[in-house]
Structure 1
Amino acid sequence: MRSIAALFSMLMPGVGQMYNNQFVKGVVFLIIEHYDNVFGSINKAIHLDFNGAHAEALKAVDYQHLLFYPGFYAFCVWDAWFHARAGADKTKTAIIFLVGGFLGEFAAIFSTHLPIPSLTCGLVMVIPMLAGMFIFRKQ
C-alpha cells in the first residue's frame, strides 16, 4: 500500500523504499539519515526539547546538518509514496511534499523564535505531507 510506504519513510527515511523493494536506495537513504542525525545532534535536540530544555536543545543542534534534514526527509517520504504506485503523476504529487520540505526548512531557520522548536518543525513538515497524501490518493 502506498500510504504504508510513506508512513514507514516518515518513521525512518529509507524504510519506505525498502518496503517498495528498492533496497539499495533504502540503505543509502538510511545511511544519509543516520549520518545527518548523528552529526547534527538532531535526536539529542528532540530529546532535550520534549523534556522542556528548549534553550539547551537549540545549543545542542548543529545547524549545518539540521538545515539539510527537512528537505531530505520530505524527499524520502515523497519518493516512497510516489514509487509505491506505478504510473503516478510525478509533477502534481511532488508539489505538496515540496511545500512540506520548505516549511520545515523555514521552521528550522527560525527555530530560535519558536516555543517548542523540534515539535513545530516536525509538524509543519508532516501535516502538509499527510494532507498531500490524502489529496492525491487517487493519482
Structure 2
Amino acid sequence: MRNIAALFSMLMPGFGQIYNGQFTKGVFFLIVEHFDNILGKISQAIHLDFNGLHQQAVEAANFEYLLFYPGFYAYCIWDAWYYVKPNADKSKTAIPFVIGGFLGEIGAILANRLPDKLSPIYCVKMVQ
C-alpha cells in the first residue's frame, strides 16, 4: 500500500493522497502542481532539454516558480508514503519537504551555469 501511494504521487503530485483517501488534500496538491507547472514553464523546459536545446530550456524556465517545485514534489511523494505507515507521527512529514526544497533550489540556481556539454541529451548523443 505505501509503495503504491508513493508511485501514484510520483506520477502526479496529489494522486497518492487521493489513493490514500485524502481527497481534499490530493485535489489541492493537483491544483498547486498545475499552477506551478504552468507559471514555471516546467513542461516547456523539459521538452526543450530533451530535444537537446539545453540553453533554451534554461532561458524558458521561470525560476521564481521552478524553485518551489522540487521540494513540493518530494513532499507529495513522502506524504503519500508516510501517511499509510501505521503508528507514524504525522507531524514529521515536513522534514523531506525542507530537504527536497533546499536541494532542488541549489540545483535550479546552478542550472544556468552548466555548460551545454553537461546536458543529459548531449551525454546520450556522445555515447551513441
* Pairwise TM-score range, normalised by the shorter structure: 0.7 to 0.9
- Could you list the per-position Cα deviations for residues 49-101 of structure 1 after superposition, in whole angstroms to 9, with x for gaps in the alignment? 11100011011111111011111111111111111223124577765564333
Q: How many residue pairs are counted as aligned between the two chains?
A: 117
Does 2:67 correspond to 1:67?
yes
- Could you list the per-position Cα deviations for residues 3-52 of structure 1 after superposition, in whole angstroms to 9, with x for gaps in the alignment? 11111111110001011011110000000000000111000000101110
When the two structures are superposed, what TM-score results if normalisation uses the length of structure 2?
Answer: 0.81
Any unmatched runs of 5+ in structure 1?
A: 118-139
Q: Give the letter aligned to residue 35 of structure 1.
A: F
Q: 1:93 to 1:24 in 2, by over 3 A?
A: closer
Match of 1:7 in 2: 7
What does 1:4-83 correspond to in 2, within 5 Å? 4-83=4-83
Q: Partner of 2:112: helix, strand, or coil?
A: helix
Any unmatched runs of 5+ in structure 2?
A: 121-128
What does 1:47-126 correspond to in 2, within 5 Å? 47-90=47-90, 95=95, 98-114=98-114, 115-116=118-119
Q: 1:96 to 1:30 in 2, by over 3 A?
A: closer
Could you tell me how far apart the structure 1 residues matched to 2:50 and 2:63 are?
A: 18
Q: Give the letter aligned to residue 79 of structure 2.
A: D
Could you tell me how far apart the structure 2 residues matched to 1:101 and 1:67 are?
A: 8
Q: 1:6 to 1:55 in 2, by over 3 A?
A: same
Q: Give the letter aligned to residue 41 of structure 2.
A: S
Q: Percent identity?
A: 63
Could you tell me how far apart the structure 2 residues matched to 1:93 and 1:41 are?
A: 28
Q: Give the letter aligned to residue 65 of structure 2.
A: H
Could you tell me how far apart the structure 1 residues matched to 2:20 and 2:50 are?
A: 32
Query: CA offset at residue 116 of structure 1?
Result: 2.9
Task: Provide the aligned C-alpha RMSD in A.
Answer: 2.0
Q: Partner of 1:88: helix, strand, or coil?
A: coil
When the two structures are superposed, what TM-score results if normalisation uses the length of structure 1?
Answer: 0.75
